[in-house]
Amino acid sequence: MNIGFEAKRVFHNKTGLGNYSRDLVRLMSQYYPENKYFLYNPKPAKQNLFEANTTNVFEKRPSSAFYTKFYNLWRQKGIIGDLKKDKIEIFHGLSGEIPRGLRAKNIKSVVTIHDLIFVRFPHLYSFFDRHIHFYKFKKAAQEADIIIAISEQTKNDIVEFLKIDASKIKVVYQGCHAAFKQTFSAEEKKEVLLKYHLPSTFILNVGTIETRKNILLAVKAIKNINTTLVIVGNETAYTHEVKNYIKENNLDHKVLFIKGLDINELAIVYQLAEVFVYPSLYEGFGIPIIEALYSKTPVITTRDGVFPEAGGPNSIYIDPASVEQMQEAIEKLLNDENLREEISEKGYEFAQRFNDDVIAKHVIETYSLLK
């Protein structure tokens, strides 16, 4: 079977959508090598984010000078000619978009929708971004033969906001990078501790430092706890609010911001942490929670939305507006090593449902519905 992917983010995005896209291509080519996978990339990549397995994965670019220059038009419509030439049977839009005209050319289609945050939290987006996102997602959801939602929460949002029949939507969870499933040596861990000047014990948060991620709650919660909060993530304007609070309350010695880690270093930091905190207000899924579960680090996260779906029955859940609940949960885990170990082991068992082979099987089953 020839399967095409809308691969812009495979080659150009370093964060969540790019990681999802690269992982899915990797999984499918590894577990179902009998298929051919075509990655439609609109323009040359500035960095080498993805190495194609040349035996069954092929990068494709616009085949004319016109579409090379106007590559966004190619992504939206011009790509159809290339799909026909490559005899694509199923086209998968990996980030909420598919080109126009697939159905007219008898090409089956799948689209992955990760979240509808721009509908849930419209104040975080500009007027134009909200409307552009809504138009693209609604159109893709209507025109695709099957929608993959990355969680039950996202599926429910698609039904509610995009008015799509639930029978058209399949939930296929995301996994995480293999690095988080590795075991690292004491020497490797020591090197990371020294390189990033980490304390011997700390609690951890990973994710873009933005309003929706709500990390200020955890900063406030550790004010009266003898611990250090390590925050790993790209900064936004919200970071100023967080750092101002830290400065005003003399917490500089208790909060450490780090970035620039490679994937193995990040995995080691997860394994070094005593507790992982993730007080986000809303996510489509919450990959950092999965990374923590695989790292055998106990998780404290938000009680509503997708978070129990990702964290399982043994993580600790709090009200994302309650500093007191976050403080109590952190203290409870830091003061009870046996509880930390119990939660870590049970969380790791729960995470096995996000293993590569399970996810690949669910995706190929979805494709098979279109044959």
CB 225 within 8 A of CB 332: no
Average per-residue pLDDT for the chain = 94
Position 18 pLDDT exceeds 80:
yes
User: In Å, how far are 150, 238, 279 from 32, measured between CA atoms?
Assistant: 21, 43, 37
Position 14 pLDDT exceeds 90:
no
Share of the chain above pLDDT 90, in %: 88
Q: Give pLDDT, residue 102.
A: 95
State the average pLDDT over residues 236-251. 96
Tens of pLDDT, residue by residue over 270-316, are: 999 999 999 999 998 999 999 999 999 999 999 998 999 999 999 99
Three-state DSSP at 176 gives coil
pTM of the predicted structure, to 2 decimals: 0.89
Structure token pair of residue 299:
């998780």
Tens of pLDDT, residue by residue over 98-116, are: 999 999 999 999 999 999 9
Q: Give pLDDT, residue 52.
A: 72
Which of the residue ranges 158-167, 172-181, 209-218 would you say has the lowest mean pLDDT? 172-181
Rounded distance between C-alpha atoms, residue 119 and residue 161, angstroms:
8
Q: Give pLDDT, residue 15.
A: 75
Tens of pLDDT, residue by residue over 30-80, are: 999 999 999 999 998 888 888 776 789 999 999 899 999 999 999 999 999
Q: Give pLDDT, residue 177.
A: 87
The radius of gyration of the chain from alpha carbons, rounded to an integer in Å, stands at: 21
State the average pLDDT over residues 213-228. 97
Tens of pLDDT, residue by residue over 3-12, are: 999 999 999 8
Rounded distance between C-alpha atoms, residue 141 and residue 371, angstroms:
19
Count CB neighbours of 246 within 10 A: 20
State the average pLDDT over residues 178-189. 94
Q: Give pLDDT, residue 323.
A: 98
CB 198 within 8 A of CB 269: yes
The DSSP bridge partners found for residue 204 are 230, 276
Q: Give pLDDT, residue 124.
A: 82
State the average pLDDT over residues 145-152. 96
Position 16 pLDDT exceeds 90:
no
Count CB neighbours of 123 within 10 A: 6
